[in-house]
Amino acid sequence: MSAPPAAVSLAGVGKTFGKGAVRALEDIDLAIAPGEFVSLIGPSGCGKSTLLRIVGDLIQPSVGDVIVNGKPAHRARLDHDYGIVFQSAVLYDWRTVTKNISLPLELLGWSRGRRNERVREMVELVELSGFESHHPWQLSGGMQQRVSIARALSFDPALLLMDEPFGALDEMTRERLNMELLRIWERSGSTIVFVTHSIPEAVFLSTRVVVMSPRPGRIAGIVEVDLPQPRGAETREQPRFFELVTEVRERLAGSGAATAPTEPALVTEERV
Amino acid sequence: MASRGATVGPAVRSAGLSVLVLAVLCAVWEAYKWIGERAEIRWPFPVNERTMPHVHDMVGQLFEPSRRNGPLLIDVLLDAAAFTAKEAAVGFVLGASVGFLIAVALSQSRLLQRGFLPYIVASQTVPILAIAPMVVVGLGSKGVTGWVAVAILAAYLTFFPVAINTLRGLQSADPRALELMHSYAASRWTILWRLRVPASLPYVFSALKISATASIVGAIIGEAPSSIQEGLGGAIVNFNQYYSLEPRNLWATNIVAAALGITFFLVVAGAERVVVRRAPENVA
Amino acid sequence: MSTVVQPVPRSFGRTIGRRFRDWLPALVVFVLVLVAWQGLVEVFNIRQFLLPKPTAILGALRDNRSDLWSAGIVTFKEALGGFAMGSTAAILVALVLARWRRVGGAIMPYAIAANAVPIIAFAPITNNWFGLLNPMSKMVIAAVLCFFPVFVNTLRGLTSVEPASIELMRSYAAGEIETFRRVRIPNALPFIFTGLKVASVLAMIGAVVGEYFGGPLDALGVVIQNNVALFDFPLAWAGIIVASAFGIAFYAAVAVAEHFLTGWQPAADSRSD
Ligand SMILES: Nc1ncnc2c1ncn2[C@@H]1O[C@H](COP(=O)(O)OP(=O)(O)O)[C@@H](O)[C@H]1O
Ligand SMILES: [Mg+2]
């Protein structure tokens, strides 16, 4: 038996927006094995979100090949091979917590009974029991993001794409959700590609940290995180943790990120 | 930010496009008429020369004498349009001013809002035009000339959108900016003029565009049943009586009325461009 | 930190109590205006031309209630028909233009300009198309009046969706129809109702004023007009009040439907317009 196909495999991927005006990504080669937790880290505007969207087949790369679960990214999307979590929770106001979580299940044509059962599990998993019939605006930011994670996990996708899911949260909520995410990852055994611009977060969560350089976005280096599993609050106090944080920071600095003018993240205000 | 050269192009293009759209509409009209007359369409209404005159006949009618040896119809209608425009403009200014003042007053107190807002909203369900003659005659008995009375009717239709939208606009001021103002111990008056009124401008203009149309409607319909002959409303009533004999006159009049409505709208929209540089289009 | 915003507990009695306090100022104004009006007319003995005494209007309303009611129904049916036709057309066109956005963008300026046409002035023409007595002649006017507010609001609602909401649907490989059904249309519902509420008032006005250029004798607009001609101003005003009451009731009915269909909203009344 051959080795299982990579969860994500990027070969020579590049992306240019407009008429060559913005070179967002260049020469991205990356293979992610099933079960890995990989973080993409880099300064704002270096193309992290773009890369994630390319993996999810939400936008097309200008050049290069994207293979997800052993098939072209387009096929993988049609097969519901991944779940995605955005920086904002992107919940539908007119749906309750329960119904937001069951949205993908409805689209997959699951029966009501099966849906309800799964949603109940998910609500427990993200510890939202008692809030099933709340609407998104009745929840705090952290709770909204947990709903969004539950929704992404609900249909058991082999791959989870997360684009700065905790970026808008305060530090304490963020650390708690980091713990929860690790717990979920361990239980589900899925592959996670996680975008962040927080170095400690990347090191704490990941098995590998992919450091990206500013425009055009390239892979400036990959840091293997050899911290023991399972991780917990004490992980953050280990000397090795600090060493790794420093290593990632130096890679970022070496890539020119530290000297590059920080540029605000692209705010897509427009409505579609 | 577009350069001069870049703005002329789109202007010409959009003008060309407008002509094209108009041409398509006329073509649709003529095609429906052509088919309707041959297929003897009876539903929803019978298609014939009386119900749907040729476009070129309606327009051509404008350049026929309005009566034997009289002036061209278009001259008559342009005079009427000018008269109606005067009523509408006076009504528009009056209504918009009153609406704005009401909004400013209501924005100062929740109690006033609670007391009066329901009636301002309910006022729009009153089909005031249905008692236009009563208003015109009633005001006439107080010494108000006919066209001024009609202008007052137009103002009645105008004030509402302005009042409601301005109020919303005055309340839309950024709460943080308000706090800042309070921290300067700015007076109510200062806050109103420096902060609230500028914040309300886009809202005011989107209301004024609605009101521009409303004032024309008010003027035309106000004239119609009030035996005021000089305006478009009078012309509509007049030509309506002879519709079975000469439908093209009524159509021609309505074309002029439509043009007047659109002109009013475009004038206000143009003023908006000048005053509110980049109005967020989503407050329309 | 993660404070939960609990929905305001809505005890029925509390709601009623709050409602009452909210409406009290309006009630006071109402009574004061009526008293002042009656008083002014009586004290100064104003000729009862423009404004008959409230008691006279109420009297006329009471004495003619069944006629006025049935006239109101005739006109309301026209308004309702026009409302249904105009709103349905508006929502369908908005759906099409939201799907094919480029066409929508190109058409929009003309739709806005077309809305500046004084539609009611076309009532004589629809009368000639359908016949004075055919309710269709008023329905069409009401329908055209209703079209625009519903169309503009629906289109705005369908297209004011967060880009990420659409991306999410794409990530589920959901098609265009699913995206409309589960995202765009629910998102548009509050907007649609804003349009429908405006349209409900316009429909009634359009029907009454449309009858002005001629209509069946038992229609409200004609009744009002005839009483003006007969100098029976109290009765004319009574007719106006009936028209207005139908308009308000229609509006309220739409608002109730809105409440049930968009009850999920954070604050229905602050966001709905
Ligand atoms: N739809 C788009 N059109 C044009 N430029 C884009 C678009 N999306 C992203 N970009 C540009 O691509 C670059 C990378 O963006 P993004 O992937 O959002 O960065 P990150 O997520 O790392 O902050 C930025 O310079 C951004 O301005
Ligand atoms: Mg990003």
> What angle (nearest 5°) sits at the alpha carbon of residue C116, between those of residues C126 and B53?
35
Q: Give me the pLDDT at residue A267, please.
A: 46
The contacts of residue C235 (CB under 8 Å, 6+ apart) are C60, C64, C227
| Domain co-membership, B41 together with B75 | no
Residue B5 has pLDDT above 90, yes or no: no
Cβ-based contacts of C180 with chain A (< 8 Å): none
The answer to whether A56 contacts C171, with C-beta atoms less than 8 Å apart, is yes
User: Is C80 contained in some domain?
Assistant: yes
> Is C149 found in the same domain as C224?
yes
Long-range contacts of C37-44 (CB under 8 A, 24+ apart): none
Among A190, A196, A161, smallest CA distance to A178 is for A196
Query: Residue C38: its pLDDT value, please?
Result: 85
Lowest mean pLDDT segment, chosen from A138-152, B126-140, C84-98: B126-140
User: What pLDDT sits at residue A244?
Assistant: 95
C2 contact A CB<8A: yes
Query: Is C7 inside any structural domain?
Result: no
- Of B120-129, C21-30, C44-53, C107-116, give the lowest mean pLDDT range: C44-53
Domain annotation covers residue A167:
no
**Residue A22 beta carbon below 6 angstroms from any ligand 1 atom:** yes
Alpha helices in C211-232 (DSSP H): 220-229
d(CA A84, CA A74): 15
CATH of the domain at B142: 1.10.3720.10
**Same domain for C26 and C121?**
no
Contacts of B257 in chain C (CB under 8 A): 117-118, 121
Q: C104 and C74: one domain?
A: yes
Does B195 fall in a domain? yes
Q: What pLDDT score does B33 carry?
A: 94
* Domain end (from C8, C30, C59): C59
- Closest partner CB to B130 (pick from C118, C124, C221): C221
Among candidates A83, A89, A90, which has minimal Cα distance to A108? A83
**Is residue A207, in this structure, part of any structural domain at all?**
yes
Whether residues C172 and C212 share a domain: the answer is yes
Q: What is the mean pLDDT of residues B256-280?
A: 85
Lowest mean pLDDT among A241-255, B83-97, C259-273: C259-273
Using H for helix, E for strand and C for coil, what is the string for C238-256? HHHHHHHHHHHHHHHHHHH
Provide the pLDDT for residue C12: 53
Q: Which ligand is closest to the CA of A62, given by its number?
A: 1
Going from the C-alpha of A255 to that of each of A212, A217, A251, C42, C59, the distances in angstroms are 8, 10, 6, 89, 87
Q: Say if C270 falls within a structural domain.
A: no
- pLDDT over threshold 60, residue A43: yes
CB pair distance less than 8 Å for C265 and A53 = no
**Side-chain-facing half-sphere of C170: CA atoms under 13 Å:** 15
pLDDT at position C273, please? Answer: 36
Q: Specify the higher pLDDT residue, C265 or C4.
A: C265
Domain count within chain B: 2
Considering the domain boundaries, does residue A12 fall inside one? yes
Residue C1 has pLDDT above 50, yes or no: no
pLDDT computed for residue A263 by the predictor = 46
Q: Is the CB of A45 under 6 A from ligand 1?
A: yes
Rg, chain C, Cα only: 23
- CA C66 – CA B16 distance, rounded (Å): 57
Comparing CB atoms, the residue among B115, B213, B224 nearest residue C115 is B213
Whether C182 has its CB under 8 Å from any CB of chain A: the answer is yes
Q: Which residues pair with A14 in a beta bridge?
A: A63
Give, using CA atoms, the residue closest to atom 18 of ligand 1. Answer: A49
pLDDT for res B129:
80
pLDDT, position C14: 60
Mean pLDDT computed over B86-110: 95
* Chain A contact for C268 (CB, 8 A cutoff): no
Strand ranges across the sheet with A63-68: A22-32, A8-17, A63-68, A71-72
Q: What is the pLDDT of residue C66?
A: 95
Q: Determine the residue type at C198.
A: V
Task: Answer whether A48 contacts ligand 1 (Cβ < 6 A).
Answer: yes
Long-range contacts of C121-125 (CB under 8 A, 24+ apart): C121/B217, C121/B220, C121/B221, C121/B232, C121/B233, C121/B236, C121/B254, C121/B257, C122/B254, C123/C209, C123/C210, C123/C212, C123/C213, C124/B236, C124/B237, C124/B240, C124/B243, C124/B250, C124/C213, C124/C214, C125/B250, C125/B251, C125/B254
Domain identity same for C151 and C216? yes
Atom of ligand 1 nearest to the CA of A51: 17
In this prediction, residue C266 has a pLDDT band, given cuts at 50, 70 and 90, of low
- Give how far Cα A234 sits from Cα of A171, A227, A237, A238, Å: 17, 11, 5, 7
Condensed to tens digits (0 to 9), the pLDDT of residues A173-230 reads 888 889 989 998 998 889 999 999 899 999 999 999 999 998 788 999 999 999 998 8
Interchain pair C117, B257: CB under 8 A = yes
Residue A61 forms part of a structural domain: yes
Could you tell me the maximum CA-CA distance found in chain C, to the nearest angstrom? 76
Residue C240 forms contact with B (CB below 8 Å): yes
Beta strands across the sheet bearing A159-163: A82-85, A159-163, A191-196, A37-41, A208-213, A218-224
The predicted pLDDT at position A157 comes to: 92
**Does the CB of B161 have a partner CB in chain C at under 8 Å?**
no
Of the listed ranges A116-130, B213-227, C162-176, the least confidently predicted one is B213-227
Residue of C nearest to A172 (CA): C1
Give residue B120's domain range. Answer: 65-283
User: Residue B138's pLDDT band (boundaries 50, 70, 90)?
Assistant: confident
List the CATH number of the domain containing C118: 1.10.3720.10
Q: What confidence score (pLDDT) does residue C112 get?
A: 85
Q: Is the pLDDT of residue C67 over 50?
A: yes
Query: Are residues C38 and C82 located together in one domain of the fold?
Result: no
Residue C154 belongs to a domain: yes
Q: How far is CA A117 from CA A102, A109, A114, C260, in A?
A: 10, 14, 5, 28
Q: Cα–Cα distance between B107 and B113 in angstroms, integer?
A: 7
Confidence grade of residue A74 (pLDDT, cut at 50, 70, 90): very high
Q: Which residues contact C272 (CB under 8 A, 6 or more apart)?
A: C190, C193, C194, C197, C258, C262, C265
pLDDT at A149: 92
Q: Which helix (H) or strand (E) holds C83?
A: helix C65-99
Whether C142 and C37 share a structural domain: no
Give the integer Cα–Cα distance in Å for C114 and C147: 11
Across the interface, whether the CB atoms of C262 and A80 are under 8 A apart is answered: no
CATH number of domain containing A266: 3.40.50.300
Q: Is A45 left (phi over 0), alpha (psi -120 to 50) or beta?
A: left
**Structure tokens that stand for B55 in this block:** 């476009």
| Residue A265 pLDDT > 50 | no
Q: Quick one: B77 and B194 in the same domain?
A: yes
Of C3, C163, C178, Cβ closest to residue A272 = C163
Query: Is residue A67 within 8 Å of A81, Cβ to Cβ?
Result: no
Contact B100, B204 (CB under 8 A): yes
C270 touches chain A (CB under 8 A): no
Q: How confident is the model at residue A270 (pLDDT cuts 50, 70, 90)?
A: low
- Name the domain count of chain A: 1
Cβ pair B209, B263 in contact under 8 A: no
Does the structure show a pLDDT above 90 at C53? no
Task: Identify the pLDDT of residue A264.
Answer: 45
Report the share of chain B in percent with pLDDT over 70. Answer: 94
Query: What residues 208-267 of chain B have any CB closer than 8 A to a CB of chain C?
Result: 209, 212-213, 216-217, 220-221, 224-225, 232-233, 236-237, 240, 243-244, 247, 250-251, 254, 257-258, 260-262, 264-266
Residues C93-102 have a mean pLDDT of: 92
C226 CA to chain A: closest CA distance, Å?
50
Nearest in space to C180 (alpha carbons), one of C188, C190, C171, C172: C188
Whole-number pLDDT of residue C272 = 33
Q: What integer pLDDT is reported at residue B266 of this predicted model?
A: 92
> Cβ of B266: how many Cβ atoms within 10 Å?
14
Tell me if the bond preceding A230 is cis, omega within 30° of 0: yes
Distance CA A247, CA B249 (A): 86
Tell whether B165 and B255 lie within a shared domain.
Answer: yes
* Span B52-64, average pLDDT: 92
Residues C29 and C156 in one domain: no
- Identify whether C101 is part of a domain: yes
pLDDT over threshold 80, residue A260: no
User: Which residue has tokens 């990214």?
Assistant: A73
> What is the pLDDT averaged over residues C113-141?
91
pLDDT at A257 (0 to 100): 55
- Calpha distance B14→A46 (Å, rounded): 39
pLDDT number for residue B134: 81
If 0-12 CB within 10 Å is exposed, 13-18 middle and 19+ buried, where does residue C111 land? middle
Q: What is the pLDDT of residues C203-258, one digit of tens each?
A: 999 999 899 888 999 999 999 989 988 989 899 999 999 999 999 999 999 999 99
Per-residue pLDDT at B3:
44
B42 located within any domain: yes
- Token pair, residue B144, equals 């108000």
Inform me whether the pLDDT recorded for C268 exceeds 50.
no
Indicate which of A77, A78, A93, A147 best probes the interface with C, i.e. most C CBs within 10 Å of its own CB: A93
User: Is residue C185 located within the same domain as residue C100?
Assistant: yes
What's at A99, amino acid-wise? K
Summarize pLDDT for B24-52 with one digit per residue, the tens: 999 999 999 999 999 988 888 999 988 99
Q: Domain check: are C33 and C154 in the same one?
A: no
Q: How far is the CA of A74 from the centre of ligand 1 (A)?
A: 21
Q: Are residues C23 and C95 in the same domain?
A: no
Q: Is the pLDDT of residue C4 over 60?
A: no
Instruction: Please give the pLDDT value at position A268.
Output: 44
Identify whether the C-beta of residue A181 lies closer than 8 Å to the C-beta of residue A149.
Answer: yes
Within this chain, do residues B85 and B137 fall inside the same structural domain, yes or no? yes
Residue C184 contacts residue C98 (beta carbons within 8 Å): yes
CA-nearest residue for atom 20, ligand 1, is A45
Rounded CA separation B261/B255 (Å): 10
Helix (H) or strand (E) holding C110: helix C101-114
pLDDT mean across residues, chain C: 87
Closest-CA residue, ligand 1 atom 9, reads A50
CA distances to A200, B59, B169 from C158, rounded to whole Å, are: 41, 39, 24
In a domain, B183, yes or no: yes
- Residues in a beta bridge with A209: A39, A223
* Domain assignment present for B60: no
User: Which chains have at least 3 CB atom pairs separated by less than 8 Å from chain B?
Assistant: C
Please tell me the predicted confidence (pLDDT) of residue A256: 64
Residue B191 included in any domain: yes
pLDDT bucket at A271, cuts 50 / 70 / 90: low
Distance from Cα A49 to the centre of ligand 1, integer Å:
7
Do C82 and C33 belong together in one domain?
no
User: Where in the sequence is the domain holding A244, given as residue range(s)?
Assistant: 1-81+197-272
Same domain, B85 and B38: no
Report in angstroms the alpha-carbon separations of B57 from B13, B80, C171: 28, 21, 57
Of the pLDDT bands very low, low, confident and very high (cuts 50, 70, 90), residue B69 is confident
Same domain, B130 and B210: yes
Q: Are residues B151 and B20 in the same domain?
A: no
* Unique residue bearing structure tokens 């002035």: C121
Say whether pLDDT at C51 is over 70.
Answer: yes
Instruction: Please return the burial class of A261, using the count of CB atoms within 10 Å of its CB with bins 0-12, 13-18 and 19+.
Output: exposed
Pairwise pLDDT comparison (A34 vs C11), residue with the higher score = A34
C161: closest CA of chain B, how far (Å): 13
State which amino acid sits at residue A140.
S
Does residue B28 lie in a domain region?
yes
In this prediction, residues B78-98 reach a mean pLDDT of 96
If you take atom 6 of ligand 1, which residue's CA is the nearest one? A17
pLDDT band of C2, cuts 50, 70, 90: very low
Give the three-class secondary structure for C34: helix
Chain A residues within an 8 Å CB radius of C3: 140
| Helix B110-122 and helix C12-43, axial crossing angle in degrees, nearest 10 | 70
Whether A1 is covered by a domain: the verdict is: yes
Average pLDDT score over residue span A51-59: 95
> Is some CB atom of chain B closer than 8 A to the CB atom of C247?
yes
- The shortest CB-CB distance from A138 to any of C6, C162, C164 is to C6
Give the residue numbers spanning the domain of C35.
16-43+52-59
Over 90: is that where the pLDDT of A269 sits?
A: no
